[in-house]
Amino acid sequence: MAKTNKKILGREEECRRLERCMAADNAQLVIVYGRRRVGKTFLINQFFENRFAFKITGIYGESRAIQLKNFVTALNRNSRKKYDPPKDWYEAFELLREYIGKLSKKNKQVFFFDEMPWLDTHKSGFLSAFEWFWNDYAQAMNNVVFIVCGSATAWMDNKIVKNKGGLFHRQTCKLYLEPFGLATVEEYLLKRNIRWSRYDIVECYMVMGGIPYYLSLLDETLTMKQNIDYLFFKNKGELWDEFEHLYKTLFSNSEKYEAVVEALSTKKYGMTRDEIINKTGICSGGDLSSILNNLIMSGFVRATGFYEKKKKETVYQLADYYTLFYFKYIRNNYGKDEHYWVNATENPTRRVWSGYAFEQVCMDHISQIKYKLQIGGVLSEEYAWSASADEEKGITGAQIDLLIDRRDHVVSVCEMKYSVNKFGIDKSYDEDLRNKIDSFVKATDCKKTIQLVMVTTYGLKSGKYNSLVNAEVMLDDLFRSV
């Protein structure tokens, strides 16, 4: 299926695993989850060429009665019968059991439950009924492949992947779909006949990330900047109100989630748990822990430990490109200037945003950075680090965005700089770099070799202040498939 489907891009490993499921001689329960708009439904529809023994898609915000009516409508369509709406989910799955019993046992029968979290409405009994159905019947049917999919990643992880009840260790395949990397985005754009410079591709990535749905909205007749204006700043543009739907459809109590990501959008280097509490007023405890864990699981927030510090001092950083772009630009600029992005090239705020967003791009392409440094096979951990001024230790205070702590007894100190031309290190910045390294060594008593890595768009200008730099990574290196 996938081998001949040229529409599937950048999901080779996922397709291989689906092929293994189809070749297995036992029942398969396949979990597909990931951020909203990341292409889960597209992958399954294209891989199976929309040929399912049964398919149902949950309806956001609707009652159990409506979901059951939706279920029986799908069942009637596939079975060509006229079942009455079941009174509850146990009865619904009994009808499905009857339908399966009449299907050919010689062929694989694929059942697709899309947006499953939306089927599990409050006190609906859906999940317990599905658990019963799977354990009592479906798992013994060697020719069935059940695919359950959902954008509410937290629900999928807590209720299915980490299920401690009837579905405990029942899933046979778990597919978490990541956004596209730069290499796949470039390939996708070329297939669309969009031939932009890699600088423009990176800037586009800094706005919308590698989210396939967002990329699908790009117009090949427009420049990159014109596309951003058209999608985000034009009156009733395709993505001007995306934020209103993004969090509400993924999280109950979405206001608290929005408050957390808004707080994180105000601080480039991220926040500790206590800082989030002070900024949002959300009480410490299970509620905040759940919010942070769900945001991390959904790919909106990145949790990074501090070098040689305990887990409780984790820093949380906004990692979703669209959300950052929304708070920086869309929320306050929508409707004011439909050509805002084209006109804002020299805006100081844009330069600040671009520096931060480029750092996020680098964080999402650590594998490419390690490959360029020829340490792709070396085990490592990535950290943030900061220290306040300490006269006694001779520390003036410093912040390092990315440390790669390597098993080969080297710490790579990474500095990321986004510029339209080659980046020049002047005397002031050279002193800043030396201070960062000196402060880091003194504060941590680091005995490892320090390697300074500059990650830039087009490399460094020749100059007398380049001697401290041990290695360079450029924009082109981030496009490597590794």
Q: pLDDT tens for residues 206-234?
A: 999 999 999 999 999 999 999 999 999 99
pLDDT of residue 360: 95
pLDDT > 70? residue 3: no
What are the φ/ψ torsions at residue 118 (nearest 5 degrees)?
Answer: -75, -20
Q: What is the pTM assigned to this prediction?
A: 0.92
Range of lowest pLDDT (178-182, 252-256, 370-374, 434-438): 252-256
pLDDT > 60? residue 4: no
- The Cα 370–Cα 363 span in angstroms is 11
CATH 3.40.1350.10 for domain 367-479: yes
pLDDT > 60? residue 310: no
pLDDT of residue 309: 62
- Residue limits of CATH 3.40.50.300 in the chain: 2-177
Most confident of 64-78, 246-260, 281-295: 64-78
Bigger pLDDT: 101 or 168? 101
pLDDT of residue 350: 84
pLDDT of residue 26: 94
**317-340 average pLDDT score:** 88
pLDDT of residue 259: 96
- Check if the beta carbon of residue 234 is closer than 8 Å to that of residue 341: no
**What confidence category does residue 335 fall into, taking pLDDT thresholds of 50, 70 and 90?**
low
pLDDT > 50? residue 472: yes
pLDDT of residue 285: 75
CATH architecture of 2-177: 3-Layer(aba) Sandwich (3.40)
Mean pLDDT estimate for the chain? 92
Bigger pLDDT: 344 or 304? 304
Q: pLDDT tens for residues 268-284?
A: 888 999 999 999 999 87
pLDDT > 50? residue 1: no
3 state SS of 219: coil
Element at 440 (helix H, strand E) = helix 427-444
**101-115 average pLDDT score:** 95
Bigger pLDDT: 304 or 461? 461
Bigger pLDDT: 418 or 395? 418
Q: Which CATH class is domain 245-324?
A: mainly alpha
For 279-295, b where at least 16 C-beta lie within 10 A, e where not — what string?
bbebeeeeebeebbebb
Measured CA to CA in angstroms, residue 77 lies from 54, 73, 74, 82, 473 at distances of: 9, 6, 5, 9, 55
- Residue carrying structure tokens 């984790």: 314
- The Cα 345–Cα 340 span in angstroms is 9
**158-176 average pLDDT score:** 81
- Residue limits of CATH 3.40.1350.10 in the chain: 367-479
- The Cα 36–Cα 57 span in angstroms is 14
**452-457 average pLDDT score:** 97
Helix axes 64-79, 89-101, angle to 10 degrees: 10
